[in-house]
A = this chain, B = another copy of it.
Amino acid sequence: MIQSNIYYGFAYFCQQIESMIPSDTIVALATPSGAGAIAVIRVSGKEAIPIANSVFKSVQGKDLTTQKTHTILLGHIIEGNRTLDEVLISKFKGPHSYSGEDVIEISCHGSPYIQQQIIQLFLRKGCRMAEAGEFTLRAFLNGKLDLSQAEAVADLITSENEASHQIAMQQMRGGFSNEIQLLRDELLNFASLIELELDFAEEDVEFADRAKFKELLNRIQEVLKRLIDSFAVGNVIKNGIPVAIVGEPNVGKSTLLNALLNEERAIVSEIAGTTRDAIEDELTIGGIGFRFIDTAGIRDTEDVVESIGIKKTFKKIEQAQLVLFLHSAEEFRNAEIDLKSLQLEVGKIALKHPDKPLVILVNKIDLLNAKEKTALENMLSNVEGSAFQLISAKTGGGVDMLKKLLLDYVNTGALRNNETIVSNTRHYDAMLKALEEIQKVQNGLDDSISGDLLAIDIRQALYHFGEITGEITSDDLLGNIFANFCIGK
C-alpha cells in the first residue's frame, strides 16, 4: 500500500493508545492534604456521574445525571441514613473536562476526616484510588494535551518564581510543541512522498521536490538549534541560578543576603517550607530564582581543619554559575590604600576557576568617610578591566545595582522576548537526537543517497519529534513521567 510504512506505525500507535485508555473510575483528593476551609475530591471515569449521583442528595431535589455540564449543585453526601457532609458538586461531562472523561468534583469541608470518609465511600462504590498524575495521564490518552503539555502541568505546580512559571505556562499552552508538530507534519509529508517514490522505483520519478525539502530541513535545523540553545537558560531558570558568595568571615555575607532578601521576604515566606531551609538560600529577583551558596572564608592557613573548609569552598565555587566575592572596605580605612591583599585573594579564586564570572563587591562602605570613599573609588577605577561594585549591605546602598547586575547576567534576551524556552531534559535529549538525524538526512541529500536510506533517517527524526509530543510513547516512558506528578492531578 502507498504510504503504508509510515502510516502503519501511526495506526498501530493509535491502537496502542486506545487499549491504554482505562475503563475504570478513579478518585483522589485534588487539594493539598491537611485541614483547610474546603477540600476538593476529584472523580473521573465512565461511572463518575452515576456513582456520585448514588451518594448525593441535592438540596433542591435535582438529579446529577440530568444536570448540565459545568454546573454546580448544593447538597449532601449520604450513606444510608448517615450524612457525611454538605458539599458542592461540580459536573463536567466528557470530553469537556480536564481528563476528557466524565468528571465530578466534590467541594467538601476541609477536614481530613471528612476527606477520608468521602474518598472511602467512593472506593466502596467501585472507584479506584487514582495513581500519581493519573488524571493528567488520562487527559493525554484522550488527546486533551500532548505529552510535553502534560509535563508542563507538573512543572507549573512546582514552579516557584515568575520565570519558571512563565516557561511552564507557555509550554502548557502549546509552547514549542505546536512548532515541533507543524514541522513534523511537513516532514511526514515529504517522508511519504519519498516512500511513494520507492513504490515507483523503476520509473525514476521524483515526487518530493528536493529543493523544497532542503529548505524544510534548514528550517527544522534552525528551530531545533534555537530550542536546544535555550535549554541552558531554561534549565538554570527551572532550578535557580547557583551563585557562590565568597569572602572572609565578618565581611557581611549574611547581611548582604538579608538585604537582597528584604523586599522579597514576604513572598518567600508565603511559599512556606518549600526550599529555603532545604537548599542553601534561595531568593527571587525580578522573577528569576537564585540559589546562594554560602562558603567558608578563604585565606592562607596551616590548620588542617581550616584547609578542608577552604577546599570545600573551592568545590562549591565549581557548582556556581557566578561568584560574588565580598571584601570589607574596612581594610581601606585610614591606611595608605593598598590593593595587594585584595588582588591576592581574588587571584586565588580566579586562578582556580578562571571560567567563572566574578563580581567583586567592596562592602561596608558606610564605615568610610567621604574622603576615604573618594580615595577608594579613585583607586578602583584605575584597576583595569575589573568590575568592582561598592555596596553597603547594612544600609542597602548599592544593593539595587547588584540586583540589576545579577539580572543582567541571566538576561540572555530569550527570557525578555518571551521566546520559547526548553527546560525539560527529556525534550532536550529528543531534540539533540532529532537534530542529529536531520543532519544525516541533509548529508544524505547532499550525497544523493538512495531514497530508501533517506527514508530510514527521516523516520528516525520523526520518531524523536514524536517522543517530544507523545505521539511515540511507551508504558515505561509514561510511567516515568507521570510518577513525578502529585496524586489528584
Contact = CB atoms under 8 A, between A and B. Distances in A.
A295 interface: no
Contacts of A42: 37-38
Most buried by B among A29, A73, A271: A271
Interface in A384-399: none
Nearest to A272: B33
Nearest to A111: B157
Contact of A172 (B70, B71, B86, B113): B86
A320 B159 CA distance: 49
Contacts of A71: 70-72
A270 interface: yes
A109 B42 CA distance: 14
Contact of A112 (B74, B88, B135, B274): B274
B113 A161 contact: yes
Interface residues of A, number: 61
Interface string A68-83: 0011111000000011
Contact of A37 (B31, B70, B113, B272): B31
Number of copies: 2
Contacts of A40: 31, 38, 40, 107
A443 to B, nearest CB: 41
Contacts of A455: none
A48 B151 CA distance: 33
Contacts of A117: 165
Contact of A35 (B111, B270, B486): B486
A37 B135 contact: yes
Interface in A1-47: 28-40, 42
Interface in A158-201: 158-162, 165-166, 169, 172-173
Contacts of A86: 172-173
- Which of A74, A112, A113 has most chain B Cβ within 10 Å? A113
A110 interface: yes
A157 B109 contact: yes
Nearest to A273: B34
Given A71-B71, A90-B90, A109-B157, A165 B114 contact: yes
Contacts of A105: 107
Contact of A111 (B33, B111, B159): B159
A464 interface: no
Contacts of A172: 86
Given A40-B40, A83-B169, A113 B159 contact: yes
Contacts of A267: 116
Contacts of A153: 109
Interface string A268-289: 0011111000000000000000
Nearest to A98: B88
A471 interface: no
A156 B114 contact: yes
Contacts of A70: 71-74
A234 interface: no
Given A70-B73, A73-B70, A113-B165, A173 B83 contact: yes
A100 interface: no
Contacts of A107: 40, 105
Contacts of A73: 70
A85 interface: yes
B169 A110 contact: no
B112 A271 contact: yes
Nearest to A76: B173
A133 B113 CA distance: 20
B111 A486 contact: no
B271 A489 contact: no
Contacts of A166: 82
15 contacts: A30-B36, A31-B39, A32-B32, A32-B33, A33-B34, A35-B157, A35-B486, A37-B42, A38-B42, A38-B488, A70-B72, A83-B173, A84-B169, A111-B156, A112-B271
Closest 9 CB pairs of A and B: A37-B489, A32-B36, A37-B488, A32-B34, A31-B31, A112-B271, A30-B37, A70-B72, A32-B32
Given A35-B157, A110-B486, 11 more contacts: A31-B40, A32-B36, A32-B110, A33-B272, A34-B34, A37-B42, A70-B73, A109-B157, A111-B158, A113-B159, A114-B156
